[in-house]
Structures are given as structure tokens and as C-alpha cells.
A and B are shown apart, each in its own frame.
Chain A
Amino acid sequence: MHTMARLLVSLGAAVLLSLSVFGKTPDDNVVVSKALDEYVFIAGKDGAEVRHSRKREYTATRHSASVKPHIFYNDRIRLDKASGGKMQYRDVNSPAVFHDDSKVCFFSLYLKAKDKKGTAEFRRTFLDAAHFTGVFVEDEYPVEEGTITFRIPPSMPDIYLVEENFPEQGIERSNGMDGDGWRVITYTISNLGKMPDDDSAPSALSSRPYISVRGYFTDIEAFYRYHAPLLAVDTALTEMPVDIGGADRPEIIERIYSFVQKKIRYVAYEEGEAAFRPDTPAETMRKRYGDCKSMSLLLSTLLNRAGIEAYIAIVGTNSIPWRIADNLSLASADHMICVVPDSDGYLFLDPTHVQISSRHIPSWLSGKDALVVVDGGFRMIDIPDVSPEESADVAEYCYVLSDGMLAGRAKRAATEDFAERLASALDAVPVQHRSAFLAKNLVPATRADIPVDSVSLAADIPGKICIEAPIVNTSAVIALDDVVYLDLNTTGDPFSSRIDISDRREDYKLPVSGRVVRRISVEIPEQHTVILPENFETSGPSVNLSCMFSQDGNTVTMTKTMELAGGIIALGDIPEWNKALAEWTDACNRQIEIK
């Protein structure tokens, strides 16, 4: 799952600061006053290599500052030279990865006053040109002027460069050729802003200026052949740990899928070849943990043992803007899943997630493509962009109004991607706090009391999780002199927070798509007049919102719905998103009057 993160680290694009406008902002202090990068493709002993040299001149523009010039390397990127200060060499695992071979070389450079400069120089070699997939143009500081040069020999005519997310100004490309027939492609940079670091923004590959290096794999066959030897591991397995007796095909698939999801821990291990080669299923069973490759291979092996056709498949998640077929590059794939032919289509099984059913296509895979490794070959298939099983988070509160309070039952059912989020959060909660955690996830507002020991949880059905409990809500009823108001709005609904735009320069990426529904019904005493607020519907970017009130006999119901389309909210559309949410909240906050 984290191969892409690892590649990004390798390319020196990680852990950078905020802001994305092009050019330096008044707040910036340190700038890269000169940036020189050169990538030279050469024929190495074991194939094509890429030599990278980097020079940076840093300048403090307003006040003294410390900077840490650095460069990343690993088993396939050899560090050749580092100069400019006293170097330190450290491991830099991503927090989500148990272990990989990424390392950083850095030093401290103190710019002791305004206008002081300091320089750093690094050289490294990509020992396998396949891993040189692209270059982010931005730096962690704004770049005043710089060049990125690619030198490609005549012996590598297939290599070409594609610009992604380039701004209208600030980066210019020029193509040339030297006396030996080498192509020399130079990107000249002037006044380019710094690389932002914002978790809520779209992925860097989708949004930041990027030079995509393509052509290493001339066709999909070559791409497959690169991976094939690494995927050829012994799949012998002496045990069948899942009882499939008496189950039909769908049930067998669910049982085996569920076993790998719940009994094998996801642990990312990406050192050297292990970043691409799965553990054998026997080893994964012994360890009871594995990365996406190992878990997928175990899953497909177990399914095969049960007589079900299943394959491992290389995929790219939706943090990558391309499909594999559109960009034959290692940068296009960062994950592995298990694919099962089913009727006239396929099931796309991602065992690294605990609560997704076999029939659901997780949002991070929808619309992508998959290289399915079949016996002695491969097959490219498209992953549909609409899942047969919808993701939803539906909470229902059935109350009776009595003695100035609402009493009844609360039930929250989450499916697929929403169930996954809830299940993952639940797994991290120690068992002694679990009931309180579940109760908290049911409470629509403060002063709604849920007896903690009466909360029930059902998570046995794949793709579903359901919490249920009796509830007494004392804050929803406001009795004035001749009227009672019912406040049926729930608080703390997911994704209903405003996006702060005061200093924001990035688009916003919605983390999930699906429906969030809150249905609250109250049985009121007979012979009362009920005045319902007006219904409300609105749309914003990537969202439809509604709040509907109805009465059926003595039961009044409020249904608030948020339909999230997923995807990206453009920076300019965020005020509209905030406005739609604010209006929806106001509409949901309107009280039901009972006289």
C-alpha cells in the first residue's frame, strides 16, 4: 500500500511545509536562491542507471534561520556524495510502514542573518532506472531560480517526459541535443512556490507540478515481465485455516476473505526486493501478519485451495492520478489486491481492510485498473467506478416523548467504507473503553444518556457494523409556557465541519463517498398540534444535503441526509461548500413545535 509513499520519499518530496501559491509569499523567510538538478541516464553494468546531482543555494530573506538540506536514498538509490556541512545519516520510515530501506542524509545549515547564504550539494545514483519515475519540481522552500536538466542518450529513445499539474508560469521547458546526440531537456524555474504539506489536500501526484519520466516500460508486457519474477513465490500451504464446510461459493469467499482481513495483521515491510516480493502464504500464516502483497497472495491461495479462481493484482490507489495502462511506470502502482472472477465481472478484494465485504469496491480503488497476474501471464481489467454495494452511515433514533424527555432506542448502521472507518477506530480502543466508545458513537448530542452496559455491537456481517442501545435524551425537549420544542438535530455527524479557508491555498479532498443519514422519529402524545419546519434541500460542490420533516399519525420524523460524491473540492468552491453546510445545519436546527 505504501510503495508510492516510499517512492515519493525516495524522490525527496516528503515532509514539506504549507502554502501552494506560486512564488514566494511575504511570510517566507528562507528561499532556494539557486537550484540545480541534473539527471543523466547512463548504461550501467546491470542495465540503465540515472545519476542525479543536486546543488542548492539557500538564502535567508528576512531573518536568521536554520535549514536542513537533505536527500533521500535507499537500497536502489546509492548516495555518492554529500557536501556542505557535517552530514548525518538516518533511517526515515514512514510512520505507516513497519520497516523499509529509506534513508536520509542531511545536515544543519545556519543562515545567521538576513541575506546570508549557504549551499548544499548531493549526488546519488538510481541503480535501476525503472525506479526513476519522476521529479517533483517544487522544493520545501520557494525557488527563486533553478534548472532541472535531463540528459538522455541516443541508446534510450523510448524515454520521454510528461509535465503534470504545471502552473501557467514559473516553469519553462526547452529541448535540445548535444554534440553526441544526447537529448538535453531543461526545465527553467523562476519564482516557484514551495511544496505544501496538507493532509486534506489532494495527493501530491494529483496536484503538484511533476515531471513524469516515462518510456522505461515500452508496453504492458514489459511492465508485467518486470514484476513477474518478484511475484513467483512458493504458494504451497499445508493448512486450510478456514472452515468452509457446507458453505456455498459466495459464503466461502466471504469466510476466507474475512479470515485474512481479521486474523492477519497488516504490517508494511518494504526493504529492497521485499517492497515488491510477497512473503509465501506459509510464511504469512506463520507470522500472522503481512503487507498488501503477502495478504493478497495468501487470500488468493486460500481461495484457490477452496476451488475458487482468484489472482493477485497490481493496482494503483486513487492517490495516483493515472491508470497503469495510461502510464506504464512503477509510479502508477502502489498496492496489491486479490481479484476473483465472478459471474460476468470480478470481485476486488482488499484484505488490508477489516470490514469491507467481497462485493464492495472500496473508494480508493474505484475507477482504476488492475494488472491481474494469471497463470503464466497477465490480464488488464478495469475496476468499475461505481460499487455494487453502497457505503452508508445511517443512524436511526426512535423516541417516545414522555415526561419532558425523549426515550427510546438508537441504532447506527454503517456499511462498507463507513463500516471500515468505524471498525478500524474500534479496533484501536481497549476493550474496557469499548462500550463507552460505542455509546459515544450513538449519542446525538450531549445530555443524551446511553447505559454503557446495554450497548450492543454487531460486526459479524461483512461490510456492515451496527450499534444499538436504549437512549434517553434530556436535551432535545424545551418546554416553554404553552409550547414544547423538539430539537431533533444530531451533532457530530461525519464530514459536517466547516473547512477553514482563511489561510488555505489547496483544494480539498473528500476522504470518502457515500450517504450519511440521520432519521429521528418521535411518538408524541395524542391530541397535540404539531408544526413542522419547512423541508430543506440544497447542493454544494460534491454534496447534496437535505432535511425533511414529516408526520404520520402521532409520529413526527426528521430525516437529514448528506450525499457525498467524493473527489475533490476546488479551492474556489470551498466557500460554497461551507455555505451549503451552514444552511443545512441551520435548517436541521429548526425546532418542531408541539402545542
Chain B
Amino acid sequence: MKNIIIAILTLLLCALAVRADKMSDYRAFADTVRADVFAEVPPGFDVKDIPAKYSGESAVVKAVYENINAKKKTGMGVGVGIVGLPSITRRARVEFGHLMRMLIHVNDKAALEKYSEFAFDTDDKRTFYKSYEKNRHTIGVRLIKPDGRIVDIDTSDFVEVEEGKKGDEKSRKLAVPGLEVGDDIDVFFFTETKLQNIHPDPVDFVLKAEAPILNYNIHCEIDDNLTTQYRTLNGAPDFTVGRDADNNYILDLELKDIAAKEPRLWYNSLQQSPRIMMRIFNRRNSESFTPKSAKKDGLQQNPDVNTMLEDRWDIDDAWLDKGAGYGLYYYGAFKDERKLTKALNKLAKDGTISQRQMADYIYNLLAYAYIGNRYSFDILDFAKAYKDFTKMFGVKMEAGLSSCDWHEPLDQLLNHKHNIYFMRLDGDTARYYFPPTGNPLIIAPGEISPHMQGREAVMWAKKKERKQSPLQFFTIPVTGTDANRNVTTLDVTVDNTMLGIRRSEAYRGSTKRSSSSLISLEDADKGYSSWLNRYGLNPVIKEKKKETADREERYADGRKEQVEAFKTEIESYHGSAPAEFIDGRITDIGIDPDQPDLCYDTEYRMDGYVKRAGANLLISVGKLLSEQIELLPTDRDRKDDLYIGNPREYLTVINLVVPDGYEVNAKSLEALKTSVKGKDASFDVEAEEGSGKITVTVVKQYLSPTVAIADWPEFAKVVDAANAWNSSVLAFERL
């Protein structure tokens, strides 16, 4: 027994010693990095003065310095030899360091709060069979006081946080001591990464921020035995490239006075802010996927897009050519798959429905399987299944590739994961079947999500054909206002000082985005089931009795949540909560390709919109138009083009019943009429009286996917007109 106790104590002491070693090792690492980083004065970090034009900024970034260091390493390990015996094998390793250092002038309390607290994990480790990724993170902070005094923040000011059962998951927090408005904060974040058989994460340099940047410097030192690919996007300047004595690639970039900040409105940072995407590979890696384009050491500056596309084709040629082997039975989503397959085959063979109708039907069938929560959604899986199913039922489809607007355009592709497959009927260049991407989740077959409209694309061709001639890029169509329209109809009655409102909404195309969250699981299930009940088919989701009961109980929860969602929608529409919510229901989930409108009705009462003026009434009719964007002074001072996405139209028809015993004042009716037209947007209001009611028709249009900054003043006039109309009043005089 005594021996056991001694053994346990010895083990415990060893464990404590190892733990203490790890802690002291980390502290030594953090102290060394801190000393090394602060020993340097990178370009721009000696800036003392801030240009007067930035005196009104909350924070000014005096300098940013990013440093990437990547070294190829080779390790050894024990693997399985040719006859099953242990053998020594090679491990592809990379040592990777990423430093981000910033010197920020803190000009107000908002900036003080923003830059006064930091939290980070000290280390993390992931290990797999022959692979690992070990990260160590540290930060360093020092303050430069207005009198030039430098205050180093000691690591003793960091708070150690332990998580996990034994407290072995470490992180650190820092509330920066001594930081005051008027100080400069010099802060760096450094991550040291050791990788075995794993490639480094992609790096994205974004050369614009929410504060002005006076100096931005990037320095990369990358082993020439690694593969480095980078792409400059949105007007980002290129690196200057050199080699050092060890043949490492040296990439440098210096930018000065990045004044323009990312605007609050109509701006897509990923498509507009200058950025450089970079990927680094160790091609010797045997465990992780290495794209074909990366299988040669060296630097690839803005690599040829066809080469990068081959990375994607290389992965997908097989299923694009021969199919992924999906069948309805394999898919297992529906009851009586064989019967359903047979019926669909019959439809395909006897020509009862057209190729397009079959393509539409299969699209919704597949979407039903996913959206009914039967599978976790994956856009690549959807594309593969869609291709297989359409082929199975005789639909001639061709596959193409594009990218969403949160990734680089396809003709500037760098990352083979940044793309999305679509299908189109052979020779039909007007209709594209994209997998639903989530916003909105539910779309009609052939509807093109706003994130894909106007994006570059290519159609897939067999390898042999690709070799003969490069693929031709084309642009996914940008649909017009007809395809991206929101029609709002309000029937309004006056009840003392309340307005009774019945509002119907129909959203199509890109306008669906804001409303799709109202659709409950029950609406989606019933909508798909109802639409798919055609051509003599009636697909039913396969589920056990218990699952059916479970789903129906969930419907009850969904209905309750939907009431709250409708209340939120009403508050968002008018800018104030309803006095009374009466009803709200989805009438069409918008999956019929011939009538793709997402429709719902809602009924409620609003107060505060009827004002007594002696014997007369004033109605705040402007509040019956959805809340319009109000431009702030900082929005008006704009330097960037506007990213609208795609043209769209908002049509609002207000039918206001003239209250008994009153007549409308003609002057106030006339005053509602407005027309502001520009090249890229318009706002029109017509108003008329007839059949005991006032009908006001409001049309707001965005006519272009983008607006040049030169046209911003004209565009802003339209926005202002719409906003001003929100306070319009209609007078009714007592008879």
C-alpha cells in the first residue's frame, strides 16, 4: 500500500512539474516574443502627429504592421511499412508565424472601451492520426502617453483563465491598465503555428478598416520550398517580391493614408475593400488535400484562373461526368421511393411534362427533403443530388460553377472552396438552378439568389475539351425589377384614434431576404407538400409514427414563435409596435417557378397615427409606408461606389377608407404626390380618391446593381425623398 501511495505521489509530482514547465515555457515564449516585437520600430510606428483631417475620428490607426513567416520543415514518424511492419516515414511540417501589430490613437471613450480589453487563448492543439496543429498565441501592449512616455503593460496584468475539468484549457484576458483618452496604444497579436501534415490557414489582408489608417505595411518571408499563392482583389496593390540570401521569398507592401472607411450603407466589403488573399501549402503533405495547382514549390502571384479552376474540376470531374451515384432510394427521404421513381420515370418517358417542368419538380422535391429538416444542408451535396436526379429522369442538364458575393469572383478564383455549382437545362441560358444558400433559404426553382446575380461563371466541360480550348467565362444574369419586387397592400380603416390595418405582402427575388424568417417549419412542409402534389405524384416524407407526432408537436411551437416573428415584422415595418396584434399567416412560401412570390397577410391596429385637429382628423399616412432609410451626416460624406446587389422595386398600395362624416382635404391629398427620379433610383407617389377611399400608390425603385460615386448625390435625393415621405399627413375635414 505504501508503495502504491509513493507511486501515486511520484506521478502527481511529475504531472505538476510538467504543468509548471509548460507554464514557464509559455511565459518564456510570451516574454521573448514581446521583447523581440517591441525592440523593432516598423515603418510608421514613429508617427507622432495625426493629420488635422482626422481630428474628428474616434480612433486613428497610425500604423499597422503584419508579418508572415513560413518555413518548411520535415519530421519523421513511425508508419506502417509494405509488409505491415513498422517503418520510419516522413512528415511534412510547416512552422508558421503571423504577427499583427497596430498603433492606434484613442480619441474618445468609445475607442477607449473598444481597445481597452483583450482576450485570447494561450495555446491550442489538434491532433489526428499523423497530423497535428499546435498554436501558441500571445499579445503585447504598451501605451504611448501624449508626453511621449512609454508604459509597458506587464504580463502580470494579464488574468489567467482556466477552463476544462482540470483547468487545462488556458486563456488570458487583459483590461489595459492606464489607458486614457489621448493615448496611443501599441498592441500586437502573434500566433506561432506548428503544423504536421496540415496546411496553414489562408491569410486575408484587408487593406481598409472602420478607422483611417496612416501606414499599412506587410512583410512576408516564405520558404521557397513551400507553395505560395496570392490574389490581389478590389484594386489592392501588388507586393514587391524579392529573395533573401536563403532564397526565401520576401513580399513587401506599403500603403499610406488609407482615408476612406467602409461605409455603413450599400457597401459590400468583400467585393469592394482592397484585399489580398494568400494560401500557403507544403506539397509534401500526405494527409491533407493539396490542390493540383499547389503541387509545385514556389510563388504564384495572381495565378492563372484556369489553373485554379482545375483544382475544382480535379475534385469534381468524376461526379460531373459519371454522376455521384445518388438515387431516390439511396437518398431515403421519401416513402415508397421505388413507386415515386417509377412514376417520375414514366412522366419523363411519356413526355407529359416538359424538361423544364421536370427540372423544377426535382428541384423542389430535393429542397423539400432538405428544408423539411431531414438532412443537414450542404450546397455541394444538393448540386450532386440534383444533377443525378435530373439525369435519372431524363432531364438534360449541364453543370456550371460560380461564386457567391461573399467570395472572390470566379474569374479571380484563388481558393477552390470558394465556389458554388449550378445547373441549367442544355442550351437554356435564361434559367439557372442554384442550391439555396440560406438567405433566403427557400427559393423557387430558377430563382437566382441576389448573392449570385451578376457573378462570373463557367460551364463545366470534360477535361479533354478543356485542354483543347479554355473555358469561356460569362455573367450570371442580373434580374430586373420585375423579378425582384415587393408588393405591399394595406387596407386601412379609421376607428376613433386607432387605425385598423390589414396588410398583404408579396416578396419576389432578392426582396425575399427580409421576410423568409417568418416561414415556419409547418408552412415549409405544407408549402412543399402542396406544390409537389401534381402530375399525379404525391411525395410524402418518410418518417416513423413517433417522428410524425414529434413534428406535429413542433408545429405548435412554431406557430407560437411565428406570432412573435409577425409582431417583430410589424414593429420593423412601422417603427413602432402595434397596439393590438390580430393575425399573421403565410399564404404562399414562394416556390412556384411561375408565381414565385412569398406571400403573407397580417392584421393589427396601430395608435398614434390619427390626430384630432378641432373637428377634423389628420392621419399620419406616411407611417403606412415601411420605415425608410435615414441618411446620417457621416453617410453623406461618401467616397465609395454603392453596392446595391441587383435592381429591385418596392410597390406599396395604401387603401384608406374615408371615415364616415369626413371628406378628404384636397390640398393635403395633392401634397402626398411626389416624384424624384434619378438614373439609379426613383421614388414616386400617386394619390387619388374614389369609391369612398383614398388610394396612395408608392413606388420605390433601385435600378442598378451598383451606383458610381459620382451619382451618389442624385441617389441620395431619392433616399431623402422616401424618408421625408414617412412624415406625410393626410387631412380629413368634418362634413
- A265 with B546: CB separation less than 8 A: no
- A430 with B175: CB separation less than 8 A: no
- A446 with B727: CB separation less than 8 A: yes
Shortest beta-carbon distance from B552 to chain A in Å? 8
- B549 with A436: CB separation less than 8 A: no
Contact pick for A481, options B110, B630, B665, B727, CB 8 Å: B665
**A 91-133 contacts with B by CB, 8 A:** 91, 98-99, 103, 113-114
A429 within 8 A of B: yes
B421-429, B447-455, B610-618: which one contacts chain A?
Answer: B610-618
- A99 with B173: CB separation less than 8 A: yes
| A114-B553, A480-B667 known; A432+B56 contact, CB < 8 A | yes
- A64 with B550: CB separation less than 8 A: yes
A99 proximity list for chain B (CB < 8 A) = 159, 161, 173, 175
| A287-B178, A289-B177 known; A589+B611 contact, CB < 8 A | yes
B567 proximity list for chain A (CB < 8 A) = 500
- Indicate with 1 or 0, residue by residue over B595-628, a CB within 8 angstroms of chain A CB atoms: 0000000000001101111101010000000000
CA distance A500 to B581 in the complex (A): 10
A90 within 8 A of B: yes
A487 proximity list for chain B (CB < 8 A) = 611, 618, 729
Shortest beta-carbon distance from A192 to chain B in Å? 22
Contact pick for B611, options A98, A435, A590, CB 8 Å: A590
- B107 with A431: CB separation less than 8 A: yes
Shortest beta-carbon distance from A468 to chain B in Å? 18
A228 proximity list for chain B (CB < 8 A) = none
CA distance A589 to B729 in the complex (A): 13
B65-73, B85-93, B112-120: which one contacts chain A?
Answer: B112-120
- B164 with A89: CB separation less than 8 A: yes
A403 proximity list for chain B (CB < 8 A) = none
CA distance A288 to B556 in the complex (A): 53
| A267-B175, A287-B177, A430-B110 known; A485+B613 contact, CB < 8 A | yes
B505 within 8 A of A: no
A593 proximity list for chain B (CB < 8 A) = 613-614
- The residue on B at minimum CB distance from A447 is B727
B634 within 8 A of A: yes
- A591 with B110: CB separation less than 8 A: no
Residue of A29, A287, A478, A487 ringed by the most chain B CB atoms within 10 A? A478
- B723 with A29: CB separation less than 8 A: no
A174 within 8 A of B: no
How many A residues touch B, CB cutoff 8 Å? 59
B350 proximity list for chain A (CB < 8 A) = none
A502 within 8 A of B: yes
B159 proximity list for chain A (CB < 8 A) = 99, 269, 271
A269 proximity list for chain B (CB < 8 A) = 159, 175
- A446 with B560: CB separation less than 8 A: no
A221 proximity list for chain B (CB < 8 A) = none
A585 within 8 A of B: yes
Contact pick for B108, options A430, A452, A502, A582, CB 8 Å: A430
Contact pick for A89, options B56, B108, B165, CB 8 Å: B165
B17 proximity list for chain A (CB < 8 A) = none
Decide if the interface of chain B is mainly helix, strand, loop or mixed: mixed
- B634 with A432: CB separation less than 8 A: yes
- Indicate with 1 or 0, residue by residue over A167-208, a CB within 8 angstroms of chain B CB atoms: 000000000000000000000000000000000000000000
CA distance A288 to B668 in the complex (A): 59
B108 proximity list for chain A (CB < 8 A) = 430-431, 434
Shortest beta-carbon distance from A239 to chain B in Å? 13
- B579 with A591: CB separation less than 8 A: no
CA distance A63 to B554 in the complex (A): 7
- Indicate with 1 or 0, residue by residue over A46-74, a CB within 8 angstroms of chain B CB atoms: 00000000000000001110000000000
A447 proximity list for chain B (CB < 8 A) = 724, 727
- A113 with B550: CB separation less than 8 A: yes
- The residue on A at minimum CB distance from B665 is A480
- Indicate with 1 or 0, residue by residue over A452-485, a CB within 8 angstroms of chain B CB atoms: 1000000000000000000000010011110101
CA distance A99 to B731 in the complex (A): 58
- The residue on B at minimum CB distance from A64 is B550
B607 proximity list for chain A (CB < 8 A) = 582, 585-586
CA distance A429 to B665 in the complex (A): 44
- A427 with B109: CB separation less than 8 A: yes
- B618 with A478: CB separation less than 8 A: yes
- B581 with A589: CB separation less than 8 A: no
Shortest beta-carbon distance from B467 to chain A in Å? 52
Contact pick for B557, options A27, A89, A475, CB 8 Å: A27
Shortest beta-carbon distance from B108 to chain A in Å? 4
CA distance A386 to B180 in the complex (A): 36
B152 within 8 A of A: no
Shortest beta-carbon distance from B177 to chain A in Å? 4
Contact pick for B579, options A91, A263, A475, A582, CB 8 Å: A582
- B110 with A427: CB separation less than 8 A: yes
CA distance A47 to B557 in the complex (A): 49
Shortest beta-carbon distance from B28 to chain A in Å? 24
B177 proximity list for chain A (CB < 8 A) = 286-289
A225 within 8 A of B: no
CA distance A267 to B608 in the complex (A): 42
- B546 with A114: CB separation less than 8 A: yes
**B 510-568 contacts with A by CB, 8 A:** 546, 549-551, 553-554, 556-557, 560, 567
Contact pick for B608, options A114, A429, A430, A589, CB 8 Å: A589
CA distance A27 to B731 in the complex (A): 46
- B581 with A502: CB separation less than 8 A: yes
- A114 with B634: CB separation less than 8 A: no
- A29 with B611: CB separation less than 8 A: no
Contact pick for B553, options A63, A475, A498, CB 8 Å: A63
- A478 with B613: CB separation less than 8 A: yes
A590 proximity list for chain B (CB < 8 A) = 611-613
**B 690-735 contacts with A by CB, 8 A:** 723-724, 726-727, 729, 731, 733
CA distance A139 to B688 in the complex (A): 59
A63 proximity list for chain B (CB < 8 A) = 549-551, 553-554, 557
CA distance A582 to B165 in the complex (A): 55
- A446 with B612: CB separation less than 8 A: no
A435 proximity list for chain B (CB < 8 A) = 633
B300 within 8 A of A: no
CA distance A432 to B165 in the complex (A): 46
A289 proximity list for chain B (CB < 8 A) = 116, 175, 177
Shortest beta-carbon distance from A226 to chain B in Å? 26
A265 proximity list for chain B (CB < 8 A) = 112-113, 116
B553 proximity list for chain A (CB < 8 A) = 29, 62-63, 114
CA distance A422 to B613 in the complex (A): 34
- Indicate with 1 or 0, residue by residue over A264-294, a CB within 8 angstroms of chain B CB atoms: 0101010100000000000000111100000
- A591 with B614: CB separation less than 8 A: yes
B614 proximity list for chain A (CB < 8 A) = 483, 485, 531, 591, 593
CA distance A251 to B422 in the complex (A): 73
- Indicate with 1 or 0, residue by residue over A414-456, a CB within 8 angstroms of chain B CB atoms: 0000000000000111111111100000000111000010000
Residue of A62, A446, A452, A533 ringed by the most chain B CB atoms within 10 A? A446
A87 within 8 A of B: yes
B497 proximity list for chain A (CB < 8 A) = 586, 589
A585 proximity list for chain B (CB < 8 A) = 607-608
Task: Give B contacts to A, CB under 8 Å.
Answer: 56-59, 107-113, 116-117, 157, 159, 161, 163-165, 173, 175, 177-180, 497, 546, 549-551, 553-554, 556-557, 560, 567, 576-577, 579, 581, 607-608, 610-614, 616, 618, 630, 632-634, 665, 667-668, 723-724, 726-727, 729, 731, 733
Task: Give A contacts to B, CB under 8 Å.
Answer: 27, 29, 62-64, 87, 89-91, 98-99, 103, 113-114, 263, 265, 267, 269, 271, 286-289, 427-436, 445-447, 452, 475, 478-481, 483, 485, 487, 489, 497-498, 500, 502, 531, 533, 582, 585-586, 589-591, 593
8 A/B residue pairs, CB under 8 Å, sorted by A: A288-B177, A289-B175, A430-B59, A433-B632, A435-B633, A480-B733, A481-B667, A485-B613
Top 7 A-B residue pairs of the complex, sorted by shortest distance between their CB atoms = A430-B58, A591-B613, A287-B177, A63-B553, A589-B611, A62-B553, A431-B108
